[in-house]
């Protein structure tokens, strides 16, 4: 009878380990990794920026850019960026973690205390993000053991290299030693710029991201740590009034001005044609600095990427990454596609070139032999020829504007994206021999024309295929026959190849 509770406990522990970055070695152990000093180069960087190693810190993480920033607060009370670290691996999609086992890295504002630092981690070193926080619990989100750790493997965590986590851990350790009781960890889907807000405006997570931007704006405008509260199912940000539980905290003038500037820029970007898009990953991503660099000396000439980064790729290329999780999904890369106002994926269907009308074909035939003839080859009288010459020349037809075709309904339904990117989500399931077809909106043919079959755009497409359509041109001898028989046609929507 005593074995049953033990068996149940082991099953629960196994389930937890499969759903998160299980790190069950808190406390205990005899490792000295947590005593690794801050690297001399980083200490020198602190001096150039007027920082002390025991000054308070704040950390910000960005999934899409796969970067983690460490900020330090100076004597002025404002934070300044100390150093940016590339993230070696994060899993899931852009968007918050909602439940145990979804492989999602969390997004939100979290508090890290000394008790959440793990000196004896199974992943070299780590600290617990504190997910789920009060906001997550208010929204019914579940999960635990969501870490920032070493070893380039993630099941919902932010995985750094061992060297990076050792440095971040040392910086946090010295801040705690200097008297900081806790530091704030801000996690975002991407940098909260006006460009990204405009680009991802129709994503199903857009309302949540707009709420996160309120906290980001506070920090960027004031360079002060925002006090975070929860009212209902929303974050609220501000000063002491937000910390005291106010659901309508005072908005600082500088913060309000920044929000207004960003909102104006978003409107301008949309007016200029910035497309609303969504990004889908097979299973998260990593910073490009960890990808294999070109070995050809000429391949890297003229590249300015290294100069633009806050870190040198050659330094991180030498880091030990350990066992990288799901390298096949990393190699595939993210799929970015346009969506409409309801979050439905759309693609552009190319239109065929206009086919010459019968009159235009006859005129071209007449120019070809230098003679004007009738329908049966008789000569046309001079009066008739003059009348034809007096007629105004027909304007050339403009190519039809590409039609935007809705191919799937993705309003909060992940299965709709499986229709569009079938092998992206489930490689085990073979693609059907005949993919499902969604009807495309095609303009009705004029009444004078005979009915033509409506061409459609396929919904199911391989993840690696570009979202575009092709046209097939008829052989030259076939086209000449069609000129004399086919009625006037302005173009049609070509089917997308699956």
**Is the separation of the CB atoms in 58 and 69 below 8 Å?**
no
Instruction: Please give the Cα distance from 306 to 475 (Å, whole number).
Output: 50
**Is the separation of the CB atoms in 156 and 104 below 8 Å?**
yes
Tokens 């947590």 sit at which residue?
34
CA-nearest of 67, 111, 113 to 90 is 67
- Pairing mode, strands 277-280 and 234-238: unpaired
Q: Which helix (H) or strand (E) holds 10?
A: helix 3-19
Q: Catalogue the active-site residues.
A: 149, 157
3-state secondary structure of 44: helix
Rg of the chain in Å (alpha carbons): 31
Q: Please name the residues in contact with 487: beta carbons below 8 A apart, sequence gap of 6 or more.
A: 358, 448, 449, 450
Instruction: Please give the Cα distance from 481 to 472 (Å, whole number).
Output: 17
User: CA-CA distances (angstroms) from residue 382 to 102, 385, 390?
Assistant: 82, 5, 12
**Is the separation of the CB atoms in 400 and 354 below 8 Å?**
yes
User: CA-CA distances (angstroms) from residue 345 to 276, 286, 337?
Assistant: 10, 25, 7
CA dihedral 471, 476, 478, 481 (to 10 degrees): 120
CA dihedral 110, 111, 112, 115 (to 10 degrees): -120
Pair of tokens at residue 285: 């991503």
**Is the separation of the CB atoms in 409 and 417 below 8 Å?**
no
Instruction: Please give the Cα distance from 22 to 15 (Å, whole number).
Output: 10
Q: Please name the residues in contact with 425: beta carbons below 8 A apart, sequence gap of 6 or more.
A: 282, 414, 417, 418
**Is the separation of the CB atoms in 403 and 349 below 8 Å?**
yes
Could you count the other beta carbons within 10 Å of the beta carbon of residue 324?
16
**Is the separation of the CB atoms in 156 and 16 below 8 Å?**
no
CA dihedral 273, 276, 277, 278 (to 10 degrees): 170
């Amino acid at each position: 009878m005593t074995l049953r509770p033990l068996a149940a406990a082991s099953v629960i522990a196994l389930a937890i380990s499969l759903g998160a970055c299980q790190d069950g070695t808190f406390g205990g152990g005899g490792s000295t990794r947590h005593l690794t000093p801050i690297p001399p180069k980083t200490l020198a960087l602190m001096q150039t920026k007027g920082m002390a190693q025991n000054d308070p810190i704040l950390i910000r993480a960005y999934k899409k850019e796969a970067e983690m920033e460490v900020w330090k607060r100076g004597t002025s009370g404002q934070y300044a960026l100390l150093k940016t670290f590339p993230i070696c691996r994060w899993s899931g999609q852009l968007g918050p973690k909602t439940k145990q086992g979804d492989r999602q890295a969390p997004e939100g504002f979290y508090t890290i205390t000394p008790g959440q630092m793990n000196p004896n981690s199974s992943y070299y070193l780590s600290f617990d993000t504190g997910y789920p926080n009060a906001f997550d619990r208010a929204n019914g989100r579940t999960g635990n053991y969501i870490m920032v750790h070493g070893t380039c493997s993630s099941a919902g965590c932010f995985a750094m290299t061992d060297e990076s986590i050792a440095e971040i851990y040392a910086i946090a350790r010295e801040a705690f030693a200097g008297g900081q009781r806790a530091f704030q960890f801000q996690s975002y889907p991407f940098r909260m710029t006006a460009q990204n807000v405009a680009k991802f405006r129709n994503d199903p997570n857009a309302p949540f991201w707009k709420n996160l931007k309120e906290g980001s704006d506070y920090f960027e405008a004031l360079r002060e740590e925002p006090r975070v509260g929860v009212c209902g199912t929303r974050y609220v940000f501000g000063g002491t009034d937000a910390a005291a539980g106010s659901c309508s905290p005072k908005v600082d003038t500088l913060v309000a001005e920044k929000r207004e500037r960003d909102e104006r820029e978003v409107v301008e970007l949309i007016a200029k044609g910035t497309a609303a898009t969504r990004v889908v990953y097979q299973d998260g991503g990593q910073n490009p600095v960890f990808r294999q660099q070109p070995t050809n000396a000429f391949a890297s000439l003229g590249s300015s990427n290294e100069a633009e980064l806050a870190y040198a790729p050659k330094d991180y290329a030498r880091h030990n990454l350990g066992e990288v999780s799901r390298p096949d999904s990393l190699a595939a890369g993210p799929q970015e596609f346009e969506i409409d106002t309801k979050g439905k994926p759309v693609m552009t269907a190319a239109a065929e070139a206009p086919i010459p009308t019968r009159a235009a074909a006859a005129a071209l035939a007449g120019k070809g032999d230098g003679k004007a003839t009738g329908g049966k080859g008789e000569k046309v009288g001079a009066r008739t020829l003059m009348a034809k010459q007096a007629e105004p020349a027909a304007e050339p037809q403009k190519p039809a504007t590409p039609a935007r075709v809705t191919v799937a309904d993705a309003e909060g339904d992940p299965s709709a994206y499986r229709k569009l990117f079938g092998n992206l989500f489930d490689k085990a399931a073979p693609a059907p021999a005949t993919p499902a077809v969604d009807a495309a909106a095609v303009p009705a043919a004029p009444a004078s024309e005979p009915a033509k079959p409506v061409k459609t755009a396929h919904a199911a497409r391989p993840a690696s295929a570009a979202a575009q359509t092709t046209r097939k041109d008829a052989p030259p001898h076939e086209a000449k026959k069609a000129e004399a028989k086919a009625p006037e046609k302005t173009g049609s929507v070509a089917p997308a190849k699956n």
